[in-house]
Amino acid sequence: MSNRARIDAVQKAASRSIRTFPRPMDAQGRPVRVSVMFGSRTFNAERMRERLSPDVYARWAETMEHGRKLDRPVADAIAHAVKEWALEEGVSHFCHWFHPMTGSTAEKHDAFLWFDRDGRPIEKFTGSMLLQSEPDASSFPSGGMRSTFEARGYTAWDPTSPMFIMDSPNGRTLCIPSAFLGYHGQALDEKAPLLRSMDALSASATRLLAALGEPAHHRITVTVGPEQEYFLIDRAYAGLRADLVIAGRSLQGARAPKGQMLEDHYFGSIPVRVQAFMEEVELELYQLGVSAKTRHNEVAPCQFELAPIFCEANLAADHNQLVMQTLRRVALRHDFLLLLHEKPFAFVNGSGKHINWSMSDTRGDNLLDPGKDPQQNLRFLTFLAATLLGVYRHAAILRASIASHGNDFRLGANEAPPAIISVFLGDFLTRICDGIAAGDVSTLDPGKAMIELGISRLPSIAKDNTDRNRTSPFAFTGNKFEFRAVGSSASISFPTTCLNAAVADAIDQIGAWISAAGGGPAAVLAAVRRALQESAPVRFDGNGYGAEWVIEAERRGLPHARNTPAALAALATANAAALFERHGILSHEELHSRFEVRVEQYNKKVEIEADVLREMVDTLVLPVGLAELAEAQAQVDLGPAAVRRFRELQARIEALDTARQALDAAAGKVGEGNEAERAASYCANVVPALLTLRETCDGIEAMVTDSRWPLPRYREMLFLS
């Protein structure tokens, strides 16, 4: 047993050369500008206009605007045009690219290759191939929907998301963003519900705007900008750490002498090797039409962030998948291992994905932007109140939407928002909201009330006043909300779907209150007041990390699901079923399947971690510890220090063995009940047993002679040279 492989890896990591890659150049030999290369690998609206007849283009544009179905001749014309473009670009295959309920993406490739009547090879791509494809649905999770319906499913093109070309080292593939549906139209994926929730929110918001005296809006857009955090470590360590490769996080590792306590990483200068990686990621993303805008170091060592410019929610969801996929692929080229896990390393911060969220009207104006005049401010306040009410009433569902085994290590751990959903508004808006909630606005002339409440002064002050309270899971930041409790590896689709549903529901409630009061500005203000009163408990600007908040939140009656099984239970309630059904987002069956899939995934993840750690203990930690113990025993004649060392090591190995057996006992208790019962048992018994076992491993790592320890250490993996 030696540390040879570990030392080789450390040396390899320290001596990496920095990868450069050929940047695209223009005819004059200058690097091509980002604005010029942006979207060059997408079949975007501009390319469609160039390549489609004016008539076909107009019909496509009309379909987009009104969310109608594409008819076959239009689809055929688009298929022909995209095929010609793709062939010019050297593409040989196409695939429907979709988002099954695994949270990642799936694709099945087909060549354009076909034979004509005379048996000669040709390239063929038709409207029907564009619109629909039939992957074998039985290999994807369906959460029980398969038992009641046929196993088959089909993917259907989402024409609101442009097709794009995926490069691989020896070829190119045309990807067709798609939804994945069962034969009776049940959503088997993350995208279909997201699209439905966007429609629902649009319908509700349009009606409310009409009640506010703005009947001209026919489509409200949900805008989303997800900030993506991630870790990078040298790839040389991957082969030596099954936990990182299989579980995506380290299941063992003694604390490094330096963690993030010097606070020298956040916004620090980016390591050269990482910047070279980021530049290649961005180049790829620009070509794919993804607006990578911001890059910086994050709080933990080896932790970084990428944020795009916001766009329509479904596109943002597709783009975020492309971001994760591109980070992973490019990382390998730079000899990095990308870790998207919420908590890859204990003792330093984990990673999240902040979903910045708002709505904009038909003119592109942000509904959560405080306006310049009382009318605009009334509109701002109404949508603000609706968001508060939605988040308040459906907090448990929002909590469920971000629940995962990985996120359990992050939420409430003094580094990320707590598992209690609350909303941060900042001092100024809090005063306004408190004022409206307390005052008897119904007796006031609305115009006068706005002035008295200081609402006509909203714009500048509100923006300056929304500080950066990082402890809030759902914060108002000037002209948008930021849902910060989302996990870094999660798809943004489901949390966004749940948020859209919650807010659509609250908008309808406010609309109902307004119409019951006969409409008009006074009725609007009264409804806003009622929404603010009801939702007051969800507003919290204090320290979300504090222990007092947990007690206070309980007093306020806010739900607090401390772990994934407890959180997911909210998806199995009549309240959730009614919410999603009412807005045509998920049928009861579709919702239940999501509950099942998530519970099952939780169970599998814990099971995998238990298996991996068991193997690491049995094949590495324990044998190394015993070898060390034998040596220590042979040295006891050397004096009291040697005796103490022997005894201490012996005690630690006994503790390891006890913890190892306790893990088996905990796993044995899980039993064969239903998945939800098993999840509760995994959570209550296996997860803590894993943690104890990990601590005993760390205790041994801290004592074993360095030349014997085989696993790359935290201090080696976490600090890039």
List contacts with ligand ADP (CB under 6 A): 223-225, 227, 294, 307-310, 356-358, 366, 479-480
Which entry of Mg ion, ligand ADP, none binds 180, CB below 5 to 8 A by partner kind? none
Write the single-letter amino acid at 585.
I
Q: Across-strand partners of 179?
A: 156
* N residues, the chain: 721
C-alpha neighbours within 13 Å on the C-beta side of residue 306: 25
CA distances (Å), origin 360, targets 156, 365, 479, 585: 27, 5, 11, 20
Smallest gap from Cβ 226 to ligand ADP, in A, equals 7
Of 229 and 243, the one with the shorter C-beta distance to ligand ADP is 229
Smallest gap from Cβ 291 to ligand ADP, in A, equals 8
Using CA atoms, how far apart are residues 367 and 381, in angstroms rounded to an integer?
Answer: 9
Which entry of Mg ion, ligand ADP, none binds 223, CB below 5 to 8 A by partner kind? ligand ADP
Of 303 and 358, the one with the shorter C-beta distance to ligand ADP is 358
Closest CA to 389 of 499, 512, 532, 497: 532
Which entry of Mg ion, ligand ADP, none binds 294, CB below 5 to 8 A by partner kind? ligand ADP
Closest CB to ligand ADP belongs to which residue?
225
Smallest gap from Cβ 349 to ligand ADP, in A, equals 15
Which entry of Mg ion, ligand ADP, none binds 357, CB below 5 to 8 A by partner kind? ligand ADP
Of 284 and 342, the one with the shorter C-beta distance to Mg ion is 342
Which entry of ligand ADP, Mg ion, none binds 523, CB below 5 to 8 A by partner kind? none
Which entry of Mg ion, ligand ADP, none binds 53, CB below 5 to 8 A by partner kind? none
Which entry of Mg ion, ligand ADP, none binds 139, CB below 5 to 8 A by partner kind? none
Smallest gap from Cβ 458 to Mg ion, in A, equals 22
Helices (H), 93-190: 127-131, 145-148
Smallest gap from Cβ 529 to Mg ion, in A, equals 30
Smallest gap from Cβ 484 to ligand ADP, in A, equals 9
Of 252 and 358, the one with the shorter C-beta distance to ligand ADP is 358
Q: Is 608 exposed, middle or buried (0-12, 13-18, 19+ CB in 10 A)?
A: middle
Residues 6+ apart with CB under 8 A from 172: 86, 89, 90, 91, 92, 93, 165, 166
Q: Is residue 265 close enough to count as binding Mg ion by CB under 5 A? A: no
Which entry of Mg ion, ligand ADP, none binds 480, CB below 5 to 8 A by partner kind? ligand ADP
Of 480 and 713, the one with the shorter C-beta distance to ligand ADP is 480
Smallest gap from Cβ 467 to Mg ion, in A, equals 12
Closest CA to 415 of 316, 368, 347: 347
Smallest gap from Cβ 280 to ligand ADP, in A, equals 21
Which entry of Mg ion, ligand ADP, none binds 489, CB below 5 to 8 A by partner kind? none
Smallest gap from Cβ 34 to ligand ADP, in A, equals 16
Smallest gap from Cβ 590 to ligand ADP, in A, equals 27
Which entry of ligand ADP, Mg ion, none binds 307, CB below 5 to 8 A by partner kind? ligand ADP
Residues 6+ apart with CB under 8 A from 139: none
CA angle 716, 719, 720 (to 5 degrees): 105
Using CA atoms, how far apart are residues 235 and 115, in angstroms rounded to an integer?
Answer: 44
C-alpha neighbours within 13 Å on the C-beta side of residue 710: 18
C-alpha neighbours within 13 Å on the C-beta side of residue 250: 29
Of 195 and 569, the one with the shorter C-beta distance to ligand ADP is 195
Which entry of ligand ADP, Mg ion, none binds 366, CB below 5 to 8 A by partner kind? ligand ADP
DSSP letter string, 598-629: HHHHHHHHHHHHHHHHHHHIIIIIHHHHHHHH
Smallest gap from Cβ 307 to Mg ion, in A, equals 7
Which entry of ligand ADP, Mg ion, none binds 559, CB below 5 to 8 A by partner kind? none
Of 308 and 544, the one with the shorter C-beta distance to ligand ADP is 308
Of 376 and 477, the one with the shorter C-beta distance to Mg ion is 477
Of 322 and 591, the one with the shorter C-beta distance to ligand ADP is 322
Contact (CB, 8 A) for 492 and 486:
yes
Using CA atoms, how far apart are residues 489 and 470, in angstroms rounded to an integer?
Answer: 20
Smallest gap from Cβ 475 to Mg ion, in A, equals 9
Element (H, E) at 307: strand 303-308
Write the single-letter amino acid at 374.
P
Residues 6+ apart with CB under 8 A from 55: none
Of 329 and 470, the one with the shorter C-beta distance to Mg ion is 470
- Total binding residues for Mg ion by CB under 5 A? 1
Contact (CB, 8 A) for 290 and 177:
no
Instruction: At 567, give phi and psi (nearest 5°).
Output: -70, -45
Within 354-383, which residues bind Mg ion (CB under 5 A)?
A: 354
Of 149 and 545, the one with the shorter C-beta distance to Mg ion is 545
Which entry of ligand ADP, Mg ion, none binds 177, CB below 5 to 8 A by partner kind? none
DSSP secondary-structure letter at 449?
H
Of 43 and 304, the one with the shorter C-beta distance to Mg ion is 304
Tally helices (H) and strands (E) across the chain.
28, 18
Smallest gap from Cβ 305 to Mg ion, in A, equals 9
3-state DSSP helix/strand/coil percent for the chain, to nearest 5?
Answer: 55, 15, 35
Which entry of Mg ion, ligand ADP, none binds 483, CB below 5 to 8 A by partner kind? none
Instruction: At 316, give phi and psi (nearest 5°).
Output: -60, -35
| Cα-trace Rg, the chain | 28
Which entry of ligand ADP, Mg ion, none binds 308, CB below 5 to 8 A by partner kind? ligand ADP
Spell out, one character per residue from 216 to 255, where the chain touches Mg ion: x when CB under 5 A holds, - when not: ----------------------------------------
Within 315-354, which residues bind Mg ion (CB under 5 A)?
A: 354
Smallest gap from Cβ 286 to ligand ADP, in A, equals 16
Smallest gap from Cβ 142 to ligand ADP, in A, equals 32
In the block, tokens 């987009």 appear at 64
CA angle 262, 268, 270 (to 5 degrees): 130
Of 309 and 641, the one with the shorter C-beta distance to ligand ADP is 309
Smallest gap from Cβ 340 to ligand ADP, in A, equals 18
Of 356 and 563, the one with the shorter C-beta distance to ligand ADP is 356
Using CA atoms, how far apart are residues 485 and 404, in angstroms rounded to an integer?
Answer: 11
DSSP letter string, 242-269: HIIIIISS-S--PPPS-SSTT--STT-P
Contact (CB, 8 A) for 351 and 342:
yes
Of 241 and 354, the one with the shorter C-beta distance to Mg ion is 354
Which entry of ligand ADP, Mg ion, none binds 399, CB below 5 to 8 A by partner kind? none
Contact (CB, 8 A) for 190 and 491:
yes
Using CA atoms, how far apart are residues 713 and 241, in angstroms rounded to an integer?
Answer: 10
Of 230 and 357, the one with the shorter C-beta distance to ligand ADP is 357
Site of interaction with Mg ion (CB under 5 A): 354
